Structures are given as C-alpha cells and as structure tokens.
C-alpha cells in the first residue's frame, strides 16, 4: 500500500478533548483534562487509552471509558517505573561490584583490556571503544585523578566499573571467556552464568524503557529473559511461560533483591502498588494466583 502524505494539523488541548469525547470517552471535568493535556502529550496518554478502543480504524472507545481511568493508569505506570528503576539501580551496582572483584582477582587490575579474555575479538574492540567514551564523559573526581597520575589506556577495572552503563556491563559479561570467572560472578546470585547473562541483557532493555519514561504496563519486551533450570531451586516455577511482558521481570527483580538486600521493603511497596484498584494486571501477564506464589511472600528476617 502506498504511503500517504501527512496532512493533519496541530490541535489545541480543547480540540483534543472534543475529539476524544466524539469517539466515546467521557470526562468528569473537561477543564482538568485540558490541564493534564498541557503537561502530558496526547500521544503519550494514547498508549494508555489504546486498550480501551473497540475500533482501531475509527478509534472509538468501549462504553464507559473515561479520561480519569486513563489518567489513573498513567499514574500507576509512572509509580511502577520508579519502583522498577529503584531495584535495577541496586542490582546494577551489585553486579558491577561482583564483575570487578572476580575479574580483578582472577585476571588483574587491567583485565578489561585483555583481548585474550574475550570470546569475540571484534566485539571486544567495540566494547573498549564504548568504554573509552563512557570514561571520557565521566565527571567523577576519582577518574580524573587516575588519568592524571597514571600512564595507561584506561584506569583500573575497579575505577572503570563505576562509570560504565548497565548496557556495557551486560555486553562485557556476555563476551567474557573464562568460564570459571563467569560462574563465580553468577554464583553470587545463585544463578547459572547463562541465565545471568540473559537477565542482564533483559534488564538493560527494561532500564532503558524506564529511563526514557516509556510505558511498562502492557509492554512486550524484545529481549526476553531465560527461565532458570536447576538453580535456584523452585524459581523456574515462578515464571510465566511464553511471556514477553513485565511479570517475569518482576520475578527477576524480586530474586535479585532477596539476594543483595535481604531486609528490603521493595516487595511490600510493589505489592501495595499492584493492589491499586482498577489496574488490569493481566495486561502485564500476571497469573490469577500471583499473590499466593512464594516469590511474592515476605522473606522472614
């Protein structure tokens, strides 16, 4: 089908409200809706009212669809992103630390520059290029101090690790050749090394989604995490089979949090958020019995 030229004019906030109303959306307060549309782009909110459409061509809504429900869903998703980012931050710092410790002790202070430790030599070069850029734009005092004091391509691994991104950390782990070191890093989380690699890749995508303030609710992720097999015992049964949505991500975050912060309150905060009325959890592939599953039970101190 040939593409059409774009001819739609820009619309005012009032016109946007009238358009939504003509398609079947109701409003308890049109002025308040206009206010929110001044600060939340129409197309950003559109991702949350899309599931309420009954006609994808004419964009008409189900009977009973109202603007306030869409706004509640938007606000829920915002709170969800903040909680997910809170966990990913702690996980990223922990994995950086484990990666640094085991590589530094097994292979030396500058092992990140050793091509012999890489599976793929081309990917090694790409990763080093990315690392150099990330170190160069870092504004940490300890990075500048090392650069002034030592003659080297890049600072020691325990310095570099503090300024690299989760995405690069995931790639560096994926390309790490010594199996003993890979396994030692993964063992800190009671995981198989392949599973850890898969989870880091997946969490990079989730983290980037959150960082760009994009939707988590109802999203299908391209990078799906591997389900663990034998370890930790019983965790595989907590996963939703053949799912690309957020439920499995939350299982992963809960496992990590239980390992790295045993007395955390993250689980209870997440459960309280998920109990928000009128939030369709099935859109994130939540099973009906999710609250009764072991992974969602508070861990006794």
Across the range 174-193, mean pLDDT stands at 97
pLDDT at residue 300, rounded to an integer: 66
270 within a domain of the structure (yes/no)? yes
Number of domains within the chain: 2
Same domain, 18 and 103: no
Same domain, 63 and 203: no
Name the nearest CA neighbour of 221 among 202, 238, 240, 239: 202
126 within a domain of the structure (yes/no)? no
pLDDT tens-digit readout, 196-247: 999 999 999 999 999 999 999 999 999 999 999 988 999 999 999 999 999 9
pLDDT at residue 221, rounded to an integer: 96
Name the nearest CA neighbour of 167 among 119, 229, 211: 211
Pairing state between β 60-61 and 53-55:
antiparallel
130 within a domain of the structure (yes/no)? no
Burial of 23: CB neighbours in 10 Å, binned 0-12, 13-18, 19+: middle
Across the range 241-261, mean pLDDT stands at 97
233 within a domain of the structure (yes/no)? yes
Same domain, 193 and 241: yes
The structure's pTM equals 0.94
Across the range 4-13, mean pLDDT stands at 91
Same domain, 57 and 196: no
137 within a domain of the structure (yes/no)? no
81 within a domain of the structure (yes/no)? yes
Q: Out of 21-30, 134-143, 253-262, which region has the weakest mean confidence (pLDDT)?
A: 134-143
For 66, phi then psi, to 5°, come to -130, 155
pLDDT at residue 203, rounded to an integer: 98
Q: Which domain holds residue 53?
A: 13-67
Mean pLDDT of the chain: 95
Same domain, 89 and 237: yes
Same domain, 277 and 229: yes
Task: Give the whole-angstrom CA distance, residue 252 versus residue 295.
Answer: 10
pLDDT at residue 148, rounded to an integer: 85
For 26, phi then psi, to 5°, come to -105, 160
Residue 250 near residue 235 (C-beta atoms within 8 A) = no
131 within a domain of the structure (yes/no)? no
114 within a domain of the structure (yes/no)? no
Same domain, 254 and 287: yes
Same domain, 34 and 89: no
Across the range 35-47, mean pLDDT stands at 96
Same domain, 249 and 102: yes
227 versus 301: the higher-pLDDT residue is: 227
Same domain, 84 and 210: yes
Q: Out of 149-153, 154-158, 244-248, which region has the weakest mean confidence (pLDDT)?
A: 149-153
SS3 for the chain, per residue? CCCCCCCCCCCCHHHHHHHHHHCCCECCCHHHHHHHHHHCCHHHHHHHHHHHEEECCCCEECCCCEHHHHHHHHHHHHHHHHHHHHHHHHHHHHHHHHHHHHHHHHHCCCHHHCHHHECCHHHHHHHHHHHHHHHHCCCCHHHHHHHHHCCCCCCCHHHHCCCCCHHHHHHHHHCECCHHHHHHHHHCCCCCHHHHHHHHHHHHHHHHHHHCCCCCCCCCCCCCCCCCCCCCCCHHHHCCCCCCCHHHHHHHHHHHHHHHCCCCCHHHHHHHHHCCCCCCHHHHCCCCCHHHCHHHCCCCC
Same domain, 255 and 191: yes
pLDDT tier, 2 (very low <50, low <70, confident <90, very high otherwise): confident
Same domain, 30 and 103: no
pLDDT tens-digit readout, 47-80: 999 999 999 889 999 999 999 999 999 999 999 9
Task: Give the whole-angstrom CA distance, residue 210 versus residue 214.
Answer: 6
pLDDT tier, 282 (very low <50, low <70, confident <90, very high otherwise): very high
Place of tokens 């957020």: 246
Across the range 24-30, mean pLDDT stands at 97
Q: Which residues contact 28 (CB under 8 A, 6 or more apart)?
A: 66, 67, 68
């Amino acid at each position: 089908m040939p593409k059409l030229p774009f001819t739609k004019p820009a619309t005012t906030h009032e016109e946007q409200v009238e358009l939504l109303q003509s398609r079947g959306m109701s409003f308890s307060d049109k002025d308040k809706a206009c206010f929110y549309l001044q600060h939340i782009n129409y197309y950003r909110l559109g991702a949350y009212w899309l599931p309420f459409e009954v006609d994808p061509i004419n964009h008409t809504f189900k009977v009973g669809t109202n603007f306030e429900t869409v706004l509640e869903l938007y606000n829920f998703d915002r709170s969800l992103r903040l909680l997910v980012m809170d966990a990913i931050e702690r996980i990223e710092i922990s994995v950086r630390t484990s990666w640094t410790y085991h590589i530094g002790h097994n292979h030396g202070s500058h092992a990140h520059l050793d091509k012999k430790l890489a599976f793929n030599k081309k990917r090694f070069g790409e990763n080093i290029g990315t690392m150099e850029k990330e170190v160069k734009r870092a504004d940490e005092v300890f990075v500048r101090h090392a650069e002034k004091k030592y003659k080297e391509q890049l600072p020691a691994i325990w310095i570099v690790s503090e300024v690299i991104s989760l995405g690069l950390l995931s790639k560096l782990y994926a390309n790490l050749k010594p199996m003993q070191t890979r396994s030692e890093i993964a063992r800190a989380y009671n995981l198989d090394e392949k599973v850890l690699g898969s989870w880091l890749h997946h969490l990079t995508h989730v983290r980037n989604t959150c960082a760009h303030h994009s939707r988590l609710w109802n999203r299908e992720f391209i990078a799906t995490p591997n389900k663990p097999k034998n370890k930790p015992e019983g965790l595989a049964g907590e996963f939703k089979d053949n799912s690309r949505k957020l439920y499995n991500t939350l299982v992963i975050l809960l496992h990590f949090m239980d390992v790295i912060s045993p007395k955390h309150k993250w689980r209870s905060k997440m459960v309280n958020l998920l109990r928000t009325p009128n939030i369709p959890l099935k859109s994130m592939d939540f099973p009906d019995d999710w609250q009764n599953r072991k992974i969602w039970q508070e861990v006794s101190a």
